[in-house]
Amino acid sequence: TSKRRPVGQQQAEGMGVKGDDGEELPELLFRGFATRAIHAGATPESNTGARSTPIFQTTSFVFESADQAADLFNLQTWGNIYGRLSNPTTAVLEERLANLEGGRGTTCTASGHSAQLLTLFAIMQPGDCIVASNKLYGGSITQLGKTIQRFGWGCIFVDVDDLEAVAKALKQPNVKGLWAESLANPGGIVTDMRPIADLCHEEGVPLIIDNTMATPYLCRPFEHGADIVVHSTTKFLSGHGNAMGGAVVDSGKFDWAQNDKFPALALPEPAYHGLAFQETFGDLALTIYGHAVGLRDLGPTMAPFNAFLTICGVETLPVRMKQHCSNGKAVAQFLQSHPKVSWVSYATLPDSKYKPLADKYLQGEGGSVFTFGLKGGYAHGIKVVERVQLLSHLANLGDLRSLILHPASTTHRQLTPEQRAAAGAGDDVIRLSIGLESVEDIIADLDRALNSLS
């Protein structure tokens, strides 16, 4: 509600607005994406009437009584205990993202990578494996392919366009889920989620989709069978290159007790006197576990100020994404006809094999992050990123500013040549994240840099 509540009081359940005659007016349910991007999860602050979500810059919260404190620590009542577990500012962002994705709950974290780790922490045990697309952000390939081995976890990379290979990998021992990106980074690749979700559910494991590049404005993976959605909120959700963060959004539809594969969620938790998260919290099991165990023990908490900045970013998400997509398509079309460019990987170009999937999953849009190849290979890639003027050469994407990167020498540098090629980050590849500047200026900057190549 946008109506200011009485100081210190919550609005009663079902309390509506009264007309001049005292009759209670029918309650409206506002469904528009732009409306929910602005309002979901937030109400005017009850003590002051502040309309913008305040920044609760505090480490801890006063208990009402010893009994209430005990109930909080036993997970028997809702509330805040300590800033590592939860914060009222962050809670607004968590509710908003769950609403926009069509999920049940969210756990926000300090970064996208920590969101990935928190997800795996809930579903994996030593000796377990995750199946992952070989078309992922380079940092995710490194995290899943190397870093998680220190936890005793493994990863099987597959081409998710090959459903037979996916089915075979999911049948391997101790596999606990499949990881893919809706719109893959470096870009231009769309995952066919529905058949992959069906294969996952046949094996009793969740489909986990990184929706960072598409955002819920373009794609809502839960509508296509996904069970968990992760985000680097640092990117399009925040949108201004000024706030790090991550998020794990749970659909609430996966039964963690359907088999014996997920003991952390289905079996009694010793740290909470034998409480079982699936039995106790049902469709909120993963979200509560993310806060009560994941954030408590691993500690990758989102800062309240970063949550506030991300809330501000989400409020303009639909406006920004519409322009991002428009600019991205125009730049892709320009590059496709440039003599120094050998190919362009943008999902909605007529010759892209992913165009039918973009129509199916991304509302016919291709986003604003994509790649193209230079005829001069690695050497020309280095020169282009050094000769642009408007575009910023840096390792981020989803900013309102246009960004450029040569993945083979940066984000995918730690990978083997074969891994780089599979991920669409070969030596000739340039990645663009097209921002909100006037598109003719973006094109002019790229054109000058390309034309300078001998």
What pLDDT is recorded for position 197?
98
**Distant-in-sequence, close-in-space partners of 309: CB < 8 Å, separation ≥ 6:** 238, 240, 242, 243
Kindly tell me the burial class for residue 137, based on how many C-beta atoms sit within 10 Å of its own C-beta (0-12, 13-18, 19 or more): buried
Average confidence (pLDDT) over 70-92: 94
- Find out whether 436 and 390 touch, Cβ atoms under 8 Å: no
Q: What is the Cα–Cα distance from 373 to 338, expressed in whole angstroms?
A: 11
Query: Tell me, what DSSP letter sits at residue 284?
Result: G
CA angle, 394 then 94 then 58, to 5°: 85
What does pTM read for this prediction? 0.93
**Distant-in-sequence, close-in-space partners of 60: CB < 8 Å, separation ≥ 6:** 81, 82, 83
* Distance (Å) of CA 410 to CA 137, 139, 233, 259, 389: 12, 10, 21, 42, 19
What pLDDT is recorded for position 314?
98
* Distance (Å) of CA 123 to CA 126, 211, 236, 290, 334: 10, 19, 27, 11, 45
Hey, what amino acid is at 199? L
* Distance (Å) of CA 131 to CA 155, 230, 350: 6, 16, 31
> Tokens 């509302």 identify what position?
363
Q: What is the Cα–Cα distance from 193 to 208, expressed in whole angstroms?
A: 10
Beta strands per DSSP E along 222-347: 228-232, 246-250, 341-345
High-pLDDT (> 70) share of the chain, %: 96
Average confidence (pLDDT) over 322-344: 97
DSSP for 46-77, please give it.
TTT--SSPP----SB---S-HHHHHHHHTT-S
pLDDT over threshold 70, residue 47: yes
Q: What is the Cα–Cα distance from 333 to 439, expressed in whole angstroms?
A: 12
What pLDDT is recorded for position 10?
40
What pLDDT is recorded for position 233?
98
What pLDDT is recorded for position 14?
45
Q: How does residue 26 score in pLDDT terms, banded at 50, 70 and 90?
A: confident
Q: What does the pLDDT look like over 280-305, one tens digit per residue?
A: 999 999 999 999 999 999 999 999 99
Q: What does the pLDDT look like over 148-161, one tens digit per residue?
A: 999 999 999 999 99
